[in-house]
Structure 1
Amino acid sequence: MVLRKVCLRFSFVVIFSCFVYSTLLVLQWRSPPRIFDVHLGGRAKHAPPKGVVLLTQMRSGSSFTGVLLTAAETTFYSEEPVRDFLHFSPSSPEDVAAAVQLLRDVLRCRFVARPDYYKKRLMLSHYHDVDTLSLCSFSEELCMAPLTTQTMCLAAHVRLARVVVLDLESAAPVFQDSDLDTHAIHLVRDPRGVLSSRGKLSKFGYFAGDDLSASSLCDRYRKDLRGAAAVKASAPHRYTFLRYEDLSLNTTLELRRLYDLLGLSYTARVAAKVAYITLGMADDLSHSYGTTRDSKATVFRWRSRLSFAEVKEIQDACVDVLEAYGYRVFASKEEYEDQALGVLVPAKS
């Protein structure tokens, strides 16, 4: 009897997976002809899937970066999967361990085995992969099933998870796993820009307390630096450093580098999506949590918002971090107000 139940369950999984795959083929067939899917540099590699963690802090451009990295169709996106474990600080070692394990499971597409997480994902506590949502117009039951999402995730070449609440020092063991090709994209932003952005949103209740503290922000950056050193020491090919400012100013160059690294094709269709996101083509660019913007015009806007006294206070708390990540430390008010003097310098990290 037990064997019969196992066989029936296995048969159901196989049939259901075939149904999902067939539906994906129908969706692909119904879509417009892909006349823009020609290569513009980069290369498509027939290689095992990659589990990629975009690791950063709040208000560092990670939503913007995540959308750019998943402009290719062979990607699957999970938005902040470990948030619930580490929502309040300080986090216990048990919570950190649970968060790391969940991150491992998400990168391996284990949604069926994680019904509690999947329910939160489905209820929009976490961002949906847009391809999963597109199935809802065909069958609500199909798009609500964790096996559907798991099958789509397994079909993707790059499984990207955006993580802001887990520091790189704690997440470092994920990038030593041997059963999956995992990779860390360590996204940083100038602490002065981060705190300027958070300060603007604090008026609406989004940030308060330590979230507005330069010391707290840069303590987290120091943990990330230690984690980066650990990953580079054990598996340097699994770590990539990325400044938000470089991505905003030289979007195509940086994306080609990242796409090539991840084995993604930088096609004309991808280039069109990137242009829409970065050149201010959307109707409303004012939303603080939006992902479309005129990236070059906004990247250093904090220089017109913060006084030199405010900047100096941040610099005093973060001088080592600024130097490690390649951000200029302004020595005087005159230097700070000289717009010809750039913010970016070679990084030491």
Structure 2
Amino acid sequence: MPFRFRYRRSIYLLGLLTVVSVIVYNKKLHAKESWSNKSTTTNAIEKHTAPNAVILLTQRRSGSSIVGELFNQYVNVSYFYEPLFPFDDTCKQSLQNQTQKTIQHIASCELTHLPKLYNEAFNVTNRDDKYSKCKEYGVCFAGYTRSKYSAYLTRDAQICHTTEVHQQCPAPIDLDRLSSHCRSSIMVAMKVIYLCRLEWITPLLSSKQSNVKIVHLVRDPRAIVNSRIPQRDLKSEVNKARFGVIRFYAHQICDQLSSNVDYADMAVGSLVPRESYLRIRHEDFALEPIQVSEKIYKFLSLPFREDMRKWVLDATTSNTQASELKTGDQGTKRNSKEIVSAWREKLSFEEVVVIQEICKDSLNKLGYRVFNTEKELQNVQELHFEPMV
């Protein structure tokens, strides 16, 4: 074979080999980039489609136990039950900084800071830690009845275990381990009933480094007052004292309620991103639990799974009637529609008038009807609010 022909063939083969090599390399590079992009997209879904934290902000006896279970029952959500218990609802200005720090550390899964903050709060409020056991466990209500506890401690973190009626945890809980688990969960949620002023945590809502959302649960203050006071007695002197208790609670509840509603109406859309705040009325949840649950999950960018849908239906259509619920019952299974108007059959018209005089502003802003006659009050077939769902 002539040399010139062999030389040309060698050049041709070398060129062909180069082209093939480039094609193979480009395919590998493309595959690698595709995997990288897919991985990034997956991480984005896992990390950013749900907020880092959601705060269920409400007041005592506002239906927060059952709404909080929307988070507690959700697998791989770290749900903190009343983490501000040591701070009480006395609204001590001296605890504002510690309140904000506590919520911030929970939202960012830095749980090792909690014992120090809890000790400082208890030293100011002198609350009894017998049931919450915040100091014993390092987190509040870790080892409590199964109607008041954080399910993820057993279900997901596997730090505790449950008996028929209680959740049992080691004391103190390993907060380093719990923080690590918390960071791996899809969302951090907390039910907060001892935050006096929404404005105290504005920096957490407006910070670019934080992705915290608020679900603000409100309820007719007349129903809240009824839920907190003792039942009427046949003795007139007992009922006179009852009026004093009603006035006290009406002022306490409505001062805080009006303050937070006014602040939210002013701040949301300016100081606080509009997509970070959602207001829910307890009564709307009671009437249409599925629709309101869907609204909450959509707000949080969480799928409303079928198991949660079944749980909501079961929890809100219990055979337990409102008249059978004991005073102080804070269970999460009840006939919600019965609960909506139950207070109207338990408070006298005179008592309702007292509450309405104190809470007029809150009632008007939240869309609750004011009763002018006893006949209107007792006509429970007619709702005292316009359903929003």
Q: Same fold (TM over 0.5)?
A: yes
Paired residue for 2:260, among 216, 224, 233?
A: 224
Amino acid at match of 1:345: E
Give the corresponding residue for 1:4.
none
Q: Number of residues paired by the alignment?
A: 298
Give the superposition deviation at 1:113.
3.7
Give the corresponding residue for 1:29.
none
C-alpha distance 137-239 of structure 1, shift in aligned 2 (>3 A): closer
Percent of residue pairs bearing the same amino acid type: 27
Give the corresponding residue for 2:66.
64
Q: Distance in 2 between matches of 1:334 and 1:199?
A: 23
Amino acid at match of 2:83: P
Paired residue for 1:342, among 363, 380, 383?
A: 383
Give the superposition deviation at 1:100.
0.8
| 1:53 and 2:68 correspond | no
Give the corresponding residue for 2:210.
180
Give the corresponding residue for 1:14.
none
Paired residue for 1:133, among 124, 138, 154?
A: 154
Give the corresponding residue for 2:308.
270
Query: 1:252 is paired with a residue of what secondary structure?
Result: helix
C-alpha distance 88-51 of structure 1, shift in aligned 2 (>3 A): closer
Q: Distance in 2 between matches of 1:121 and 1:275?
A: 36
Q: Distance in 2 between matches of 1:294 and 1:123?
A: 35
Give the superposition deviation at 1:258.
0.7
1:164-175 to 2 correspondences below 5 Å: 164-166=193-195, 167-175=197-205
Structure 2 gap segments, 5+ residues each: 1-43, 119-132, 143-148, 163-167, 234-243
Q: Distance in 1 between matches of 2:382 and 2:62?
A: 22
Amino acid at match of 2:151: V
Q: Distance in 2 between matches of 1:142 and 1:332?
A: 55
Q: Distance in 2 between matches of 1:254 and 1:106?
A: 26
Deviation string, structure 1 residues 210-249 (Cα, Å, up to 9, x no partner): 8943122111112112331223432111110100011111
- More deviation, 194-203/260-269: 194-203
Give the superposition deviation at 1:46.
3.7
Give the superposition deviation at 1:142.
11
CA contact (8 A) 1:78 1:160 kept: yes
Structure 1 gap segments, 5+ residues each: 1-43
Give the superposition deviation at 1:88.
6.1
Give the corresponding residue for 2:298.
260
Give the superposition deviation at 1:60.
0.5
Give the corresponding residue for 1:194.
224
Give the superposition deviation at 1:150.
1.2
RMSD: 3.1
Amino acid at match of 1:311: V
Query: 2:56 is paired with a residue of what secondary structure?
Result: strand
Q: Distance in 1 between matches of 2:329 and 2:385?
A: 24
Which protein has the larger Cα radius of gyration, Structure 1 or Structure 2? 2
Give the superposition deviation at 1:67.
0.7
Give the corresponding residue for 2:122.
none
Deviation string, structure 1 residues 116-156 (Cα, Å, up to 9, x no partner): 45963727743542121342359977993112321221122
